A and B are shown apart, each in its own frame.
Chain A
Amino acid sequence: MCYYNGTKVTRDEYIRLKHLEKLVANYQFMDRDVINGFDFGVTAIVKPVEGKEDIEIVPMEWGFIPDPGVWPFWETREQVNQGRRPHKDPRGKFVDGLNFLNAVSEEIVKKGKVYRTAALNRRCLFISSGYYEWRHIFPLNKRTGEPLKTAKKYPYRVGYKGRDYFFIAGIWQEWSDAETGETVNSAALTTTSGNLVTGHIHNSKNRMPTMLTEDLAWEWLFGNLSEQRVQEIASFQLPWEDISYYTLAKDFLSSHEPWKEHFYPELPPLDIPGAEAPAPQGQMELF
């Protein structure tokens, strides 16, 4: 006899439920409306099949876990879990977590950087139908007319115009827990400087994920790339004219329909010379 979820079951039933676990896990990683990086969950990754010019889609943990031999020397899952989140260091000092969700493209192949070996040898693609970013607006003080110190944050969904799915450059790494032997494939996506649209949306940092054209995605996976070319593709900035975007409800992360457009009357349109702001869906339907 075995126990599943604390209930005594037969061995056959136990195996059946374990099989269901596998089916469901493989299904779920492809079927998520919103993936929050800070959950460090699995996401769908495209990687080359070893020795072939062919691809496979596999689940990987989003949040790169570096080789245990390099800084920050994470050898066990416990160290990974602690190190990823804000925590107290051995001296009792409060330190930020090292989440390794995003690899800054400008430094990706720099010698001594944690992502270098993966960028040169293990490149992959994140599959996305859109990403989420917050635009910061500083309201004016009614009395002084000066901007307030605390920004109001408006969420946007950003996509690749005319495409249901697109690819973001990524790098991956296999890692094993020294205590349990658990082996995990983890990945980080690369980021580049924001274009006219994405920079205005992510106006606190002016960054965007490296969204690739089909040709660049193929080259990223299968090209025999020099360091310089890795750097160039990782830094590729999709032209702003190819970006689609709209605003979302502030509670979209807990919504049944997180992709649903939400119009904010007080929000000024993006300041893009020569470009018309996309009208919200509700307004379009009126005309």
Chain B
Amino acid sequence: MSERKPFELQLNSVTMKVYELDIPKFTAYRIVFSSPRPQLIVARARNADKKVFWTSIPEGRQKEAEALGNLIEDYLSKKENS
């Protein structure tokens, strides 16, 4: 398991460094905050209806995972289209 070069996202006054984790068969990111908030790992998963959702790894920070996972997705799709 390794990490790719990070990209940066900004939310309000907090800068986040986002590292893509290179793990076969998983899409997961490690987020390091410029604030004292502990780092967070988010991963794409599928719910029982086969719909994709973002989850924190380990469990416990679901709301953050959803919000930041979507932010990462927006960033990547804009980058792809630019």
Within 8 A of B (CB), among A2-37: 4-10, 13, 16-17, 20-21, 23-25, 27-28
State whether the Cβ of A256 lies closer than 8 Å to any Cβ in chain B: yes
CB <8 Å contact, B32 and A256:
yes
Tell me the complex Cα distance, A6–B63, Å.
10
A7 contact set on B, CB distance < 8 A:
45, 47, 53, 55, 62
State whether the Cβ of A253 lies closer than 8 Å to any Cβ in chain B: yes
B65 contact set on A, CB distance < 8 A:
5
CB <8 Å contact, B36 and A5:
no
CB <8 Å contact, B58 and A21:
yes
B25 contact set on A, CB distance < 8 A:
16
Interface contact tally, CB-CB below 8 A: 62
What is the interface residue range for chain B against chain A?
20 to 34
Tell me the complex Cα distance, A254–B1, Å.
25
Within 8 A of A (CB), among B48-82: 48, 53, 55-60, 62, 65
Interface residues of chain A: helix, strand, loop or mixed (majority): helix
State whether the Cβ of A255 lies closer than 8 Å to any Cβ in chain B: yes
State whether the Cβ of A275 lies closer than 8 Å to any Cβ in chain B: no
What is the interface residue range for chain A against chain B?
20 to 34
CB <8 Å contact, B57 and A6:
no
Tell me the complex Cα distance, A8–B46, Å.
9
Instruction: Render B6-31 as a binary contact track against A, CB cut-off 8 A, 1 for contact.
Output: 00000000010100010101101000
Tell me the complex Cα distance, A13–B15, Å.
32
Minimum CB–CB distance from A188 to chain B (whole Å) comes to 23
CB <8 Å contact, B47 and A8:
yes
B15 contact set on A, CB distance < 8 A:
256
Query: Taking each of B1, B55, B60, B65, which has the highest tally of chain A beta carbons within 10 Å of its own beta carbon?
Result: B55
Tell me the complex Cα distance, A166–B48, Å.
48
CB <8 Å contact, B62 and A6:
yes
Which of B26, B48, B57 interacts with A8 by CB under 8 Å? B48
A27 contact set on B, CB distance < 8 A:
1, 21
A23 and B55 in contact (CB under 8 A), knowing A17-B43, A17-B45? Answer: no
Contact sample, A vs B, 25 pairs, CB 8 Å cutoff: A1-B48, A4-B59, A5-B60, A7-B45, A7-B55, A8-B48, A9-B47, A9-B48, A10-B48, A13-B46, A13-B47, A16-B45, A20-B26, A21-B57, A23-B26, A24-B21, A24-B41, A24-B57, A25-B58, A27-B21, A28-B41, A253-B36, A254-B35, A254-B36, A256-B17
Apart from the given pairs A5-B62, A24-B41, A256-B34, 6 other A-B contacts in the complex at a CB distance below 8 Å: A9-B48, A10-B46, A16-B25, A20-B43, A20-B57, A28-B41
User: Which residues of A are in contact with B by a Cβ distance under 8 Å?
Assistant: 1, 4-10, 13, 16-17, 20-21, 23-25, 27-28, 253-256
